[in-house]
Amino acid sequence: MARRRSGCPGGAVKQAFIFDVFGTLVDWRMGVAAVAGRFFSERKVTVDPYAFAVFWRSRYQPAMDRIRTGRRSYVALDRLHRENLDETITHFDLDAVFDTAARDAFNHAWEQLPAWPDVLPGLEALRPYGLLAPCSNGSIALMSRLARFTGIEWDAIVGADIAQDYKPEARVYLASCAALGLPPECVTMVAAHNDDLTAARQAGLKTAFIPRPMEHGGRRSTDAEPTEDWDFVVDRIGGLAVRHGPATVSARRP
């Protein structure tokens, strides 16, 4: 349910909804495992593709943390994923199986992740109420290709590449709001991860939580339930459109 009333005027250009992507909008575990499964089948590799996907993903936060803490200058997530792929291949003792060309091709797995079933209809239902954009740690290049793959249509792409930093640093949320020409209080961050929303709220944004119990293959995570009194808690993207009501639609055009 809604936790507070928006102080922003109605209409699609007066507010925005920005989204975490990996886990919130797309199933990274299933998508990466599907690509891995095809590669492994072609090369007669017996490694569990889901275990491979989970290990690769586990290197995600440590790689970004070196940038957040200033130990490394900003580089796009595509490059971090590629470096983490090398580490993952070594972990599973597959160095002899994958040459450089195969690794480069494999790295595009992150552009081939399926959207959760409610995402496309939910975003279309929400579109009349505000601008829609990803606020992801993924690069503009990655988000563009992933949008083509899923069929998602964005009004803009913001996030890490805009800020040259990674969430949950406040500058990522604030730079995203600035890029859309809106104050933070007129922007709602939508995520399945409580820590993402905590950082967004601290930066002055509104917040919306949507649980994704299958992100980790059904294993319970710390994000199974909202941990704070978020502005909105919904079970599907379209639920945000319901919360905003039809009055805003009438204000979207003169």
Interval 173-194: pLDDT, tens: 999 999 999 999 999 999 999 9
C-alpha distances out from residue 146 to 10, 136, 141, 187, Å: 30, 12, 9, 23
Angle, to 10 degrees, between the axis of helix 77-91 and the axis of helix 49-58? 130
String of DSSP letters for 142-157:
HHHHHHHHHT---S--
Please give the pLDDT value at position 2. Answer: 41
| Residues in the chain, total | 254
Backbone torsions φ then ψ of 110, nearest 5 degrees = -70, -10
In whole angstroms, give the CA distance from residue 142 to residue 77.
8
Query: Which is more confident, 74 or 254?
Result: 74
Q: Per-residue pLDDT tens for 21-60?
A: 999 999 999 999 999 999 999 999 999 999 999 999 999 9
Q: Examine the pLDDT at 12 and tell me if it is beyond 80.
A: no
Please give the pLDDT value at position 10. Answer: 61
Q: Confidence class of residue 251 from pLDDT cuts 50, 70 and 90?
A: very low
Residue position matching structure tokens 């809106």:
182
* Single pTM value for the model: 0.90
Contact 132, 19 (CB under 8 A): yes
Q: Per-residue pLDDT tens for 53-79?
A: 999 999 999 999 999 999 999 999 999
Contact 36, 53 (CB under 8 A): yes
Question: Is residue 188 classed exposed, middle or buried when 0-12, 13-18 and 19+ CB atoms within 10 A define those classes?
Answer: buried
The pair of three-digit structure tokens given for residue 104, joined into one six-digit string: 């480069």
Give 158's strand partners. 135
Q: Per-residue pLDDT tens for 220-235?
A: 666 678 889 999 999 9
C-alpha distances out from residue 238 to 125, 128, 197, 234, Å: 6, 12, 19, 8
